[in-house]
Amino acid sequence: MTQSYNALFDPDVDGTKKGGVANPTLQQVLDDPQFYGGEAANNVAALLSAAHPDVDFTGDRTEDTCPLDADESNN
């Protein structure tokens, strides 16, 4: 979980655009899917599910969308 996400997946994620970590670990991406993006979190989930028989990330996956529009999030 401490391995760099960018070392394993392409395209790289860059959290510095939002004030985060430039080269996040797998754990950081999985902990903050809204921050790093749903596709990145899904990549980590798929990797973990394939790597260990007791890990199974199934069901609905995170999307790169926010249910609130800009006006609602400012209230």
Q: Report mean pLDDT in 10-residue bins for the chain, 75 residues.
A: 94 78 89 85 88 73 50 44
Sequence-separated (6 or more) residues with CB below 8 Å from residue 45: 30, 57, 61
Distances (CA, A) of 3 to 13, 27, 44, 70, 72: 14, 8, 11, 34, 36
Cβ-contact 32, 5 below 8 angstroms? no
> How much is the pLDDT for 4?
95
> How much is the pLDDT for 8?
95
> How much is the pLDDT for 60?
55
> How much is the pLDDT for 27?
92
**Structural domain that includes position 52:** 5-73
> How much is the pLDDT for 59?
57
